[in-house]
Structure 1
Amino acid sequence: MTAATGRLDPDAMAVARSLSRILPRPFHELGVADSRAVAADLRPRGEPEPIHEVRDSEIPGRNGLVPIRLYRPQGAVELPVAIYFHGGGWTVGSLDGVDAVCRAIANRSGCVVVSVDYRLAPEHKYPTPLHDCVDAVAHLALRGAELGVDGTRIGLVGDSAGGNLAAAVALWARDTVLLKLRCQVLVYPATEFAVDRPSWSEHADGPLITTADVMWFWGNYLRDEGDRRDPFAVPAAAASLAGLPRTLVITAAVDPLRDSAEAFAARLLADGVDASASRYDGVFHGFFTEIGTFRATDAAVSEAARFLRNSLLP
């Protein structure tokens, strides 16, 4: 256990204590295969939340078919769609790992949620995971009716590395095809490369992810130093964030990425974007997807769902 756990609420403290059994060494020491096995064990257990429809499918992409999972909260067609990109340092994570949170978001927002199973690093470095996400969004914008969604009302949601991908997709939509996205929810996103802000030092040892883990994940994803200056790889490298869709940034108080995510929200606001940030005290990185584990998770998911409903349903 680290000193950072002293700032955790009782739910998070209990989980932090259990991590020593589930995660015997940091991710960067475990390596890719063992990290993926641990990540699979960390997903929420128990009966899945009932929902009107869950359907697995595939959509075409430049790198081949991209698996997706669609969550429909009600029978009506042409519902707006929130496209979800899971976290895991571009290296771990799966559709199953975010199944619980996608069900909850769909039910609480009244929107269809489409979860994207993008290709993982280091086997598929930048820009391949981003291309999978871009191709999924483009397909739903152009041919969403085939899946019973309204391709003119699209929001993005991503946690951690998925937040990076969501922000990068939003930049792509602004800069390349002028696709009008309605909104984005960025949950403790990895938006800048290794900037030494206070939380980077204060919570360098976790829980769950350490700064050394973050650097290892970046190393898995990026090809070379040049990628660090590419805003589609590192969104904070963009010269301007003006013109991005309205944004909600959600952070955890005990997280090395906290301050960089909140700085990104401040930049959005300064560049004229309708943006806000909500910090959840007493919890650490990863809490958002852990339905039924942290009390803060319920509040954060409900906040995200309200934001999506207010942005996409009118």
Structure 2
Amino acid sequence: MTLEAEASLVIAQLNALDRPTFQDVGPDRARKGFEELPPGGLEVDVASTEDRTIPGPDGNDIAVRIYRPGDGALTADHSGVLGCLVYFHGGGWVVGSIETHDLTCRSLTMLAGVVTVSVDYRLAPEHPFPAGPNDCCATTQWVINNAAELGVDSRRVAIGGDSAGGNLAAAVALMCRDAAANDDACGQPALQVLIYPVTDYDRDTHSMIANAEGYLLTRATMEWFDDLYCPPSERKNPYAAPLAVDDPSGAAPALVIVAGHDPLRDEGVDYAKKLAESQVPTTLIEYPGQFHGFFGMTRFLDQAIEAQELTAHALRRALAPAK
């Protein structure tokens, strides 16, 4: 299928900028350039935001931003306690931050009626695998353990992310499942939202080759991210490559969103199939005419608005208060 009309226009405009690639400029300049990109999302007001730091797993501090939806939120129970989304930003584990994904988190907070906790996990290459998933898992458990303070229900906490953030969400779902087998006190997420996730390090899939260039994320950039984040010796570790897990049964129910013109399309579909075959309740949604990164571009793409609304619907269902 060809690119959807609005997507084609966005891709043409982005390609016309002829910006240097991340691998051409290196991590520091890549981060700065990513932060300076004009916002692709619509402005959404939330009731409040709070920036704070929480303790990390290695004596580090983790910065988080907490978004609140205000009165009448759709996941509120009779006493006002809410569901929660813990969100991990994309950026190949190398770039991206709370700031680059602020508009997406604002939108999901209000559409789903949840408290959203956005996580500034440690980035590669300074902090390669497993720093990222360790930070994200620690934050998820912190939210569950401090649910009363946050005004959320510890049984109604979802995790999610896009691209590398989707990889981290899938990893955290497996980490929580595995930890619970040895520790009854380990909380479990109620849903994992995987938006065009990285699930493997095979850069010779059909979608990787077919969409190697021209659709925002390239095969070469993905290989650069891989090399900075994960050493070859760890690329079959399920917490780095969730598709490598032998049996994902018992992991949180999943919503997986993929784009047709995305190098990562096939590995997202393959992971959704593996989850479903292992009896994990899984919904797979594909946007055949979209590209990697479309989810946050609500300013330009009607299908981005639709995808966020579908995600919010899944969150509301998974995090609805008990009747």
Name the TM-score class by shorter chain.
over 0.9
Give the 3-state SS of the residue equivalent to 2:194 in structure 1. strand
Whether contact under 8 Å (2:7, 2:291) holds in the other structure is yes
The one of 302, 307, 311 aligned to 1:300: 307
CA deviation after TM superposition for structure 1 residue 233, in Å: 1.0
The one of 154, 161, 165 aligned to 1:162: 165
CA deviation after TM superposition for structure 1 residue 108, in Å: 0.9
Which has the higher mean CA deviation after the structures are superposed, 160-169 or 175-184? 175-184
Q: Give the corresponding residue for 2:293.
A: 286
Which has the higher mean CA deviation after the structures are superposed, 255-264 or 31-40? 31-40
CA deviation after TM superposition for structure 1 residue 16, in Å: 1.3
The answer as to 2:189 corresponding to 1:181 is yes
| Partners of 2:225 and 2:34 in 1: CA distance | 14
Q: Give the corresponding residue for 1:116.
A: 119
Q: Give the corresponding residue for 1:142.
A: 145
Give the 3-state SS of the residue equivalent to 1:7 in structure 2. coil
TM-score of the aligned structures, taking structure 1 as reference length: 0.93
The answer as to 2:2 corresponding to 1:7 is yes
**How is 1:182-201 mapped onto 2 (pairs within 5 angstroms)?**
182-201=190-209
The answer as to 2:21 corresponding to 1:32 is no
The one of 68, 72, 85 aligned to 2:88: 85
| Partners of 2:30 and 2:17 in 1: CA distance | 11
| Partners of 2:236 and 2:42 in 1: CA distance | 44
Q: Read off the aligned partner of 2:277 and give its amino acid letter.
A: A
Q: Which string of whole-angstrom CA distances, capped at 9 and with x for unpartnered residues, describes residues 119-139 of structure 1?
A: 111111111111111110111
CA deviation after TM superposition for structure 1 residue 154, in Å: 0.9
Q: Which string of whole-angstrom CA distances, capped at 9 and with x for unpartnered residues, describes residues 235-263 of structure 1?
A: 11111111111111001110010011011
TM-score of the aligned structures, taking structure 2 as reference length: 0.91
Q: Give the corresponding residue for 1:3.
A: none
| Partners of 2:272 and 2:84 in 1: CA distance | 23
The answer as to 2:62 corresponding to 1:66 is yes
Corresponding residue pairs, total: 308
Whether contact under 8 Å (2:15, 2:214) holds in the other structure is no
Whether contact under 8 Å (2:191, 2:315) holds in the other structure is yes
Q: Read off the aligned partner of 2:154 and give its amino acid letter.
A: G
The one of 33, 40, 44 aligned to 2:39: 44
Q: Please tell me the root mean square deviation across aligned C-alpha atoms, in Å.
A: 1.7
Q: Per the alignment, do residues 22 and 117 of structure 1 end up closer, same or farther by CA in structure 2, a change over 3 Å counting? A: farther
Give the 3-state SS of the residue equivalent to 1:66 in structure 2. strand
Whether contact under 8 Å (2:91, 2:164) holds in the other structure is yes
Which has the higher mean CA deviation after the structures are superposed, 159-168 or 77-86? 77-86
Q: Read off the aligned partner of 2:210 and give its amino acid letter.
A: E
| Partners of 2:221 and 2:255 in 1: CA distance | 25
Whether contact under 8 Å (2:41, 2:296) holds in the other structure is no
Higher helix share: 1
Q: Give the corresponding residue for 2:233.
A: 226
CA deviation after TM superposition for structure 1 residue 181, in Å: 1.5
Q: Per the alignment, do residues 36 and 212 of structure 1 end up closer, same or farther by CA in structure 2, a change over 3 Å counting? A: same
Whether contact under 8 Å (1:250, 1:278) holds in the other structure is yes
CA deviation after TM superposition for structure 1 residue 86, in Å: 0.4
Give the 3-state SS of the residue equivalent to 2:127 in structure 1. coil
Whether contact under 8 Å (1:100, 1:291) holds in the other structure is no
Whether contact under 8 Å (1:85, 1:163) holds in the other structure is yes
Identity %: 39
Give the 3-state SS of the residue equivalent to 1:82 in structure 2. strand
Q: Per the alignment, do residues 245 and 46 of structure 1 end up closer, same or farther by CA in structure 2, a change over 3 Å counting? A: closer
